[in-house]
Structure 1
């Protein structure tokens, strides 16, 4: 796999992880929250694994069915797409 792609995946997944932690922190502090659309955007842009790890680590959005089901499905889809890209 291309080194630039690996670096990009690390950055995007790190950002997804960070967003989950930041949103959890803001929720506990009763501050302005990060929108679910923004959380999903980071996940859709190949940051689903980091977002999912952030969900579990920070125990955030774990009771929301859209996140419970959607995030693992998105990870599977992204792995398939990355495998397809690797073949090309």
Structure 2
């Protein structure tokens, strides 16, 4: 959590979620960064539904932007950067 506290972007990557790493999602809703979710991780949930519960809790506080692959994420970030440069 300490490493993510100042991040502008929080990526929930395409990794399997199990009892050993589900706790990494605890508290994300309180961080300032935008949350991106690689949707493939939803098919790799080995937490008996805890992953969905964590994501639902995060979604109550923050928008979760779903991505299907990392190229899509890079495109989104590039568009946002271009828009920010135009507005400056």
TM-score, with structure 1 as normaliser: 0.36
Higher strand share: 2
Normalising by the residue count of structure 2, what TM-score does the alignment of the two structures yield?
A: 0.36
Greater per-residue helix proportion: 1
